[in-house]
Amino acid sequence: MQYRTLGRTGVQVSTLALGAMNFGAIGRVPQDEATAIVDAALEAGINLVDTADMYGQGESETIVGQAIAGRRDDLVLATKATMPMGEERNHRGNSRRWLVRALEDSLRRLDVDHVDLYQIHRWDPTTSDEEALSALTDLQRAGKIRYFGSSTFPAYRIVQAQWAAREHRLGRYVTEQPSYSILQRGIEAHVLPVTEEYGMGVLAWSPLASGWLSGAVRAGREITTSRATVVPERFDLDVPANRARLDAVEQLAKLAEQAGLTLIQLALGFVTAHPGVTSALIGPRTLDHLHSQLEAAGTVLPADVLDEIDAIVAPGTDLAPGEKFDTPPALLDPSLRRRR
């Protein structure tokens, strides 16, 4: 396992990090299997575990808390808030009122007195940067969080938040967690240059593109990723973007074979090769999944292989632009771009 410094924090984290979204109802991974996955990940050298309150409405955090019991200080523990937790309208977002409550709930479920990294799961257009950063700074000063970061923020919102922190003399986001894979490279054009400029750590989620790069989606074969039952439209081969992804996957599979690598090694090696990326978040549902992904821990792609990847999917290109999660609201809501 390789290790890198998380932004400018001085904290050393593994280049592969364990994402816990599948623990519990979402991935149908019960406590005993999740604990076995955590055990194997830590034994392999992974030292960052990432979860969120909304994964199974708190179930993932509870499972993670039990899995890490007795070895809390051996790992970097990260969680998130912002997404709705129930029907109550104020049990979501980035207000001080909710972030303080959400953190207390997360600490209780995780059975710890602090988390190392507390992340804002999405930008909340109804809450000012000053409001969110002020609450996070106070939680940090209280010792309940060590650092805080953002997740899936558009580049301009990352810049705005950095400016607000300086303007109001508040703590700043020290990490960003964007979606990044060979098939979704849009952040290379805007987010990664910004995070590098501000010295932010980057934890890339979905490096296997929801199964597209795990070998679960191949031409002429049955699709085996569980995501296909949750969001079938993302794997419907009648959709032009999905046909483009399948074509790219077939070319990438051939490239991986020629390079003596698995497709998973190629995909994870690509993500961790970017100088702006600290760690790739893997989210295995089984021990077999974990072991196949751990094979990429020491993968370093040579320049000629990276050049071939660029020829298959151009730098800065999203093959499925409709699946972006950092699109500015005005591009989604016509009323926001039309003068009244």
pLDDT tens per residue across span 40-90: 999 999 999 999 999 999 999 999 999 999 999 999 999 999 999 999 999
Which residues make Cβ contacts (< 8 Å) with residue 31, sequence separation at least 6? 63, 66, 67
Structure tokens at 188: 């290379």
Q: What pLDDT, on a 0 to 100 scale, did the predictor assign at position 321?
A: 86
Q: What is the DSSP string of 272-306?
A: HHSTT--EEEE--SSHHHHHHHHTTTT----HHHH
Spell 45-73 as b/e; 16+ CB within 10 A means b. Answer: ebbbbbbbbbbbebbbbbbbbbbbeeeee
Q: What is the spatial distance between Cα 144 and Cα 105, in angstroms, rounded to a whole number?
A: 12
Across residues 141-167, what is the average pLDDT? 97
Q: What pLDDT, on a 0 to 100 scale, did the predictor assign at position 330?
A: 80
Across residues 14-37, what is the average pLDDT? 96
pLDDT tens per residue across span 185-202: 999 999 999 999 999 999
Asked if pLDDT for residue 328 goes beyond 80, the answer is: no
Residue 200 lies in a domain: yes
Q: What pLDDT, on a 0 to 100 scale, did the predictor assign at position 161?
A: 98
Q: What pLDDT, on a 0 to 100 scale, did the predictor assign at position 121?
A: 97
Asked if pLDDT for residue 233 goes beyond 90, the answer is: no
Q: What pLDDT, on a 0 to 100 scale, did the predictor assign at position 229?
A: 73
Spell 91-102 as b/e; 16+ CB within 10 A means b. Answer: bbbbbeebbbeb
Residue 182 lies in a domain: yes
Residue 308 lies in a domain: no
pLDDT tens per residue across span 236-263: 888 999 999 999 999 999 999 999 999 9
Q: What pLDDT, on a 0 to 100 scale, did the predictor assign at position 336?
A: 84
205 secondary structure, DSSP code: B
Find out whether 127 and 158 touch, Cβ atoms under 8 Å.
Answer: no
Strands of the chain (E only): list them: 3-5, 12-14, 16-19, 48-50, 76-81, 115-120, 145-151, 175-177, 201-204, 279-282
Asked if pLDDT for residue 114 goes beyond 80, the answer is: yes
* Residue 172: domain span: 3-210+271-300
Across residues 13-18, what is the average pLDDT? 98
Provide the annotated active-site residues. 55
Q: Where are the alpha helices (DSSP H) in 44-152?
A: 59-67, 96-110, 129-141
Structure tokens at 25: 């109802």
Residue 317 lies in a domain: no
Residue 306 lies in a domain: no
Q: Is 70 left (phi over 0), alpha (psi -120 to 50) or beta?
A: left
- β-partners of residue 176 are 150, 202
CA dihedral of residues 212, 218, 224, 227 (deg, nearest 10): 30
Q: What is the CATH number of the domain that holds 161?
A: 3.20.20.100
In total, how many domains does the chain have? 1
CA dihedral of residues 282, 286, 291, 295 (deg, nearest 10): -30
Asked if pLDDT for residue 310 goes beyond 80, the answer is: yes
Find out whether 122 and 150 touch, Cβ atoms under 8 Å.
Answer: no
pLDDT bracket for residue 217 (50, 70, 90): confident
